[in-house]
């Protein structure tokens, strides 16, 4: 079956960038967008991330060959249940939810046709300092030279997984496979914990004397440090695995105690040395992210296949429609 329609339910920086990335490759696709906020949908259409808008997400899903779900964790189960009876037999559902194991559970319960794969496109290194989450920050190269995490179920159709792999490649990213539960445990350290620290920092500042005056000149540092508070999934992420969240909080609190002792001791040379080492490790991480040289996967043999077929793994390429 030739892929013609990609539907994106839930439009933000990530999903709109996927739309822009597909459009940039001139694949002849129709990209349908749906968002509960009509103004967000209009903005995505003006940017060129989608060709058309459908207000009802279930209606938007019916014609999809590839269905990209980008909804909050609180909405995930209801959305999978709602679209389950309306999707096409061959549809590939790519779920971008921030946690993967719940989606797999709901998909097993509700999705009786089509194919379900969890995925998470990772921002390119040169986009990490942009703390925006909205459609206005979407770019066609947002994932270029980064990784496209893929978390398929144990019984996922290999062709469906290959399609997800090739989608990541079209976006300029390297596919990286993870077990869904492993992904969920790892994301706690780099997504959930920063969000909880953002909450603590913002609360501490807003409870201090003269905080309103302070916030008048708060700049980039404070803005980026608290940007995670805008994540709609922060509470669900923190409470999904409470024990793991508490372990991360305990680890961070122990580090804060160490830093507090350094400040209390007033040893400038020792404190500067420790912070210099941390800064070096952070720059090394940024360098590795920029070069994306820590993961390698072999590409399947795509010789002789049309570019569109390389992406979507479906049948022979159809002749161009007459305009």
CATH at 201: 1.10.3660.10
pLDDT digits (tens, 9 = 90+) for 36-56: 999 999 999 999 999 999 999
Pairwise pLDDT comparison (153 vs 195), residue with the higher score: 195
Pairwise pLDDT comparison (303 vs 259), residue with the higher score: 259
DSSP H/E element including 318: none
Report which DSSP code applies to 316: S
CA–CA gap between residue 52 and residue 60 (Å, rounded): 10
Q: Which has the closest alpha carbon to 63: 36, 105, 91?
A: 91
β-strand partners of 67: 7, 93
Q: What are phi and psi of 216, to 5 degrees?
A: -65, -35
Mark whether 25 and 54 lie in a shared domain: yes
Tell me the mean pLDDT in the region 207-232: 89
pLDDT of 19 strictly over 70: yes
Q: Give the chain's mean pLDDT.
A: 88
The pLDDT of residue 300: 41
Mark whether 239 and 266 lie in a shared domain: yes
Domain assignment of residue 319, yes or no: no
Mark whether 171 and 67 lie in a shared domain: yes
Domain assignment of residue 10, yes or no: yes
The pLDDT of residue 193: 95
Mark whether 153 and 204 lie in a shared domain: no
Q: Which residue range forms the structural domain that includes residue 37?
A: 5-178+294-312
Taking a C-beta distance cutoff of 8 angstroms, is the pair 2, 155 a contact? no
pLDDT digits (tens, 9 = 90+) for 313-323: 543 344 444 44
Percent share of the chain, pLDDT over 70? 90
């Amino acid at each position: 079956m030739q892929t013609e329609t990609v539907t994106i339910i839930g439009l933000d920086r990530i999903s709109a960038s996927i739309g822009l990335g597909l459009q940039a490759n001139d694949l002849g696709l129709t990209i349908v967008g749906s968002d509960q906020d009509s103004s967000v949908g209009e903005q995505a259409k003006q940017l060129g991330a989608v060709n058309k808008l459908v207000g009802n997400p279930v209606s938007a899903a019916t014609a999809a060959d590839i269905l990209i779900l980008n909804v909050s964790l609180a909405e995930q189960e209801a959305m999978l249940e709602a679209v389950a009876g309306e999707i096409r037999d061959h549809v590939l559902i790519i779920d971008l939810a921030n946690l993967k194991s719940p989606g797999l559970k709901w998909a097993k319960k509700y999705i009786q046709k089509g194919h379900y794969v969890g995925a998470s496109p990772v921002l390119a290194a040169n986009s990490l300092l942009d703390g925006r989450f909205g459609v206005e920050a979407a770019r066609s190269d947002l994932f270029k030279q980064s990784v496209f995490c893929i978390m398929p179920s144990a019984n996922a159709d290999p062709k469906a997984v290959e399609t997800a792999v090739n989608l990541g490649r079209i976006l300029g990213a390297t596919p990286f496979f993870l077990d869904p539960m492993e992904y969920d445990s790892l994301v706690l350290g780099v997504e959930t914990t920063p969000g909880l620290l953002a909450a603590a920092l913002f609360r501490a500042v807003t409870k201090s004397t003269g905080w309103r005056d302070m916030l008048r000149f708060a700049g980039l540092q404070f803005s980026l440090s608290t940007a995670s508070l805008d994540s709609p999934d922060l509470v669900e992420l923190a409470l999904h695995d409470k024990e793991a969240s508490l372990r991360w909080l305990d680890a961070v609190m122990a580090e804060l105690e160490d830093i507090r002792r350094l400040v209390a001791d007033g040893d400038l040379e020792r404190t500067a040395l420790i912070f210099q080492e941390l800064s070096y490790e952070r720059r090394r991480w940024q360098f590795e992210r920029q070069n994306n040289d820590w993961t390698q996967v072999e590409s399947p043999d795509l010789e002789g296949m049309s570019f569109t077929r390389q992406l979507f793994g479906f049948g022979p390429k159809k002749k161009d429609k007459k305009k």
